[in-house]
Amino acid sequence: MGSSRRIAVLGSGYVGLTVAAGLAFMRHEVVCSDIAESKIDQLSSGIVSIVEDGLTELVLEMVAKGRLKFTSSNLEAVSDAEFVFLCLPTPQGRDGSPDLSATIAVAREIGPHLARNSIVINKSTVPVGTAHKVRDIMNRPDVDVVSNPEFLSEGSAVLDFLQPDRIVIGSDSRENGLRVAELYGDPTDHKCIVTDTLSAELIKYACNAYLATRLTFINTIAELCEAVGADIRTVAAGMGTDHRIGTAFLNSGPGWGGSCFPKDTEALIHMAETVGCDIALVKTVIRANAGHTERIVEKVAAAVGGNVAGKVVAVWGLAFKAGTNDLRNSPAVKIVTSLQERGATVRAYDPAIEKDSLDGVELVHFKEDACVGADVLLVATEWPDFSLVDLATIGELMSHRSIVDARNVIEVEDALNAGFDYVGVGVGRSNTIRLLNLEAGEGGAQ
């Protein structure tokens, strides 16, 4: 572990708060700021409103140890900081490009007040060239701006921060790149990649666009599986054993969503267009992804006889994935909205969402309550306990025993044994599933 440094983290969203608490865990003295006073008031009284595994505990522990403090003043946070992390929102602007107004405003605000020879580190996902832009705005020749993109998945952000695959640092000065690398411990002990600033900024976009493309690919193969009677789980397992491919990010589902992939793929296209490149592949991926979400709506309609008007649809899961309460660009929400537009009544349950957050959707507190009198059950988010339910009991509550499993989390045999019609994503048109038991060395159809 390197020596303790004074660090300011500007922004207290799930990225900023995870970075702040994680750096405090690494024994640095951290001050985290946010212009939203209500957030800072909550955090100062020990309330963490973000659903993020392990974050509340880590924040409370670091506050108790005196290594993490909060303030609503950016200037107070940066006043004697040696390193300033920018973890600011970069929402999608109207033309698809990220809206950098928060980053620009903060750069203007803090520029004159930064400590001598401090380093500003950009964690937010920002277009290539932003570090240079921030440097120009701050107009402080003694202050460097370094890119250090985050690779924190919602739901596992703390673990991703503390045990990263690698840490990417983009710095045009080798010395400052190393100073930032040392914040994470001895650079020779951990997986730090120091690159030039522009490349680091692009690595982030390239990763998210690649992962989105990979998911669209697997969802496309899932579609083909349904048509030919193959099973996507078997196909994905078979693909994943090729070490060049690997097993991660091959779960077929209702299309990708969330606060990052949709925004970042659009931003990449926009960025490429401004320099005369047409990334047709990513455009196709975005289009195909929308089609994969809509296919789930068609599956629900088919499950109730072709028309959802007047039907009751029980929905398990609204968040864009398990482990978070984030509804931004959630495929589940898109499907629910589309079902409502077609005249369905939707009753939903999500373990992380307590308040009615969607117009016209009745949110219930128990998954069983969603199913009472329902014509079909749609599993839209892969919360682990959805696979543990007693389907016979669920079936008794419903008007019709029918499941559309957009996450392939329900055991098909259990569903069939409990008298359900089961439809997954790419699990075969005959409702049977062929599982390849790799560990036991068995193969073939069951």
Tell me which residues are annotated as active site.
260
| Number of residues this chain uses to bind ligand UGA (CB under 6 A) | 20
Residue 95's CB is within 10 A of a number of other CB atoms, namely 10
Look at the alpha carbons of 426, 428, 431, 436 in this order and tell me if their dihedral is positive or negative.
Answer: negative
Answer yes or no whether residue 154 interacts with ligand UGA by CB under 6 A.
Answer: yes
Look at the alpha carbons of 157, 163, 168, 174 in this order and tell me if their dihedral is positive or negative.
Answer: positive
Residue 335 and residue 314: Cα distance in Å, rounded? 12
CB of 18 to ligand UGA, least distance (A): 10
CB of 192 to ligand UGA, least distance (A): 17
Give one DSSP letter per residue of 194-216, joined into a string: EE-HHHHHHHHHHHHHHHHHHHH
**Which two structure tokens, joined as six digits, stand for 152?**
């924190």
For ligand UGA, the closer CB: 211 or 423: 211
Residue 86 and residue 13: Cα distance in Å, rounded? 11
For ligand UGA, the closer CB: 217 or 249: 249
The one among 59, 152, 301, 312 contacting ligand UGA by CB under 6 A: 152
φ and ψ of 65, to 5 deg = -80, -5
Q: For residues 12-31, which are near ligand UGA according to CB under 6 A?
A: none
**Which two structure tokens, joined as six digits, stand for 355?**
């308040």
The one among 151, 196, 272, 435 contacting ligand UGA by CB under 6 A: 151
Give the closest residue to 315 by CA, choosing from 334, 302, 292.
334
Answer yes or no whether residue 217 interacts with ligand UGA by CB under 6 A.
Answer: no
Identity at 185, one-letter amino acid code: G
Answer yes or no whether residue 321 interacts with ligand UGA by CB under 6 A.
Answer: yes
CB of 181 to ligand UGA, least distance (A): 19
Angle at 358 between CA 397 and CA 219, to 5 degrees: 75
**Which two structure tokens, joined as six digits, stand for 93?**
């602007």
For ligand UGA, the closer CB: 320 or 383: 320
Residue 377 three-state SS: strand
Answer yes or no whether residue 215 interacts with ligand UGA by CB under 6 A.
Answer: yes
For ligand UGA, the closer CB: 144 or 264: 264
CB of 72 to ligand UGA, least distance (A): 24
Answer yes or no whether residue 150 interacts with ligand UGA by CB under 6 A.
Answer: yes
**Which residue stretch of 19-27, 149-157, 186-194, 360-368 sits at the interface with ligand UGA (rule: CB under 6 A)?**
149-157
In the shown chain, the binding pattern of residues 226 to 265 toward ligand UGA, with x for contact by CB under 6 A and - for none, equals -----------------------xxx-x--xxx-xx----
Q: For residues 170-209, which are near ligand UGA according to CB under 6 A?
A: 208
Residue 400 and residue 420: Cα distance in Å, rounded? 8
**Which residue stretch of 130-138, 145-153, 269-277, 361-369 sits at the interface with ligand UGA (rule: CB under 6 A)?**
145-153
Angle between helices 130-138 and 101-110 in degrees, nearest 10 = 30
CB of 180 to ligand UGA, least distance (A): 18
The one among 73, 79, 153, 431 contacting ligand UGA by CB under 6 A: 153
Residue 384 to residues 129, 316, 317, 333, 406, Cα–Cα distance (Å): 41, 11, 11, 19, 14
Bridge partners of residue 146, in order along the sequence: 121
CB of 264 to ligand UGA, least distance (A): 6
For ligand UGA, the closer CB: 73 or 357: 357
CB of 385 to ligand UGA, least distance (A): 17
**Which residue stretch of 34-42, 147-155, 281-289, 420-428 sits at the interface with ligand UGA (rule: CB under 6 A)?**
147-155
The one among 18, 90, 118, 125 contacting ligand UGA by CB under 6 A: 125
Residue 337 three-state SS: helix
Give the closest residue to 374 by CA, choosing from 437, 311, 426.
311
**Residues that bind ligand UGA in the complex, under the rule CB under 6 A:** 125, 150-154, 208, 211, 215, 249-251, 253, 256-258, 260-261, 320-321
